[in-house]
Amino acid sequence: MKVHEYQAKEILGRYQVAVPKGKVAFSAEQAYAIAKELGGTVVVKAQIHAGGRGKGTFTDGFKGGVKLAKTADDAAEFAKKMLGNTLVTHQTGPAGRQVQKVYLTEAANIAREYYLGIVLDRAKQMNVIMSSTEGGVEIEKVAAEAPEKILKTWIDPLVGIQPFHARQIAFGLGFTGEAFKECVKLVAALYKAHEDTDSTLTEINPLILTDDGHVVALDAKMAFDDNSMYRHPDIMEMRDLTEEDPLEV
């Protein structure tokens, strides 16, 4: 079962993973009110169960499912253009997905983008944490063109994540000083969230370094083991049937 970015960030926030503030809106009016409340520049993000939104195009020609809005009026305008519209990305297929909600979130000043993901390595029967300095791009592309730029850290399920694993990753990404410490904390928190929730995929792309030196999860994707959902009624509540194949539902 997949959840939306805003829901994944809510879950990760419970584990003290650093995420920017934000709220979901179902109408342009709500988007306006939330943008006012957040203050300053906000980002309006289409919520669909697919990635590549930033570079996506709506079927009416409107470009981009991730938009920077300098004012609350602009935020409302973007929300109006996105809501009810169909967004096509490299992950949706040509039919695209209809946008029913948008996420309003604080705009970050990005110094650098990284990739951080946790997935089950079935062959090794272990979770693997993948990290790369090539963030913001599709990891499949990095894996195909520059596999040496992906650091893989396998976690033995019987031992669990250890502090040295997180330090190895923060070091591999080139962090130093306070940012190094923040990255170590974030990796440990992300792994705990992944394990506790029976996640099969937890992906932060991009993880960012802000221009004032903080490490933040700017995007979040989570998918869960369907067979474990009886243990997680709170996550089950996040299920969005409109995003699933009607025949299977």
Task: Candidates 52-60, 74-82, 143-151, 162-170: pick the segment binding ligand ADP (CB under 6 A).
Answer: 52-60
Torsion of CA 17, 20, 23, 26, to 10 degrees: -110
Spatial distance between the Cα atoms of 2 and 11, rounded to a whole number of angstroms: 13
- Which one is catalytic: 134, 182, 203, 243? 203
Which amino acid, 131?
A: S
Torsions phi, psi for 45 (to 5 deg): -125, 120
Q: Nearest approach, Cβ of 61 to Mg ion (angstroms)?
A: 23
Q: Are 180 and 213 in contact (CB under 8 A)?
A: no
230 is catalytic: no
**Edge-to-edge strand ranges of the sheet holding 86-88:** 57-58, 86-88, 97-98
Return the residues of window 177-206 that contact Mg ion according to CB under 5 A.
205
- Which one is catalytic: 103, 115, 182, 243? 115
Task: Candidates 43-51, 126-134, 192-200, 239-247: pick the segment binding ligand ADP (CB under 6 A).
Answer: 43-51
Q: Does 53 bind ligand ADP (CB under 6 A)?
A: yes
Backbone Cα Rg of the chain: 18
Identified binder of Mg ion from the candidate list 5, 113, 203, 219, rule CB under 5 A = 219
Which option in ligand ADP, Mg ion, none does residue 66 bind, with CB closer than 5 to 8 A by kind? Answer: ligand ADP
Catalytic residues: 115, 203
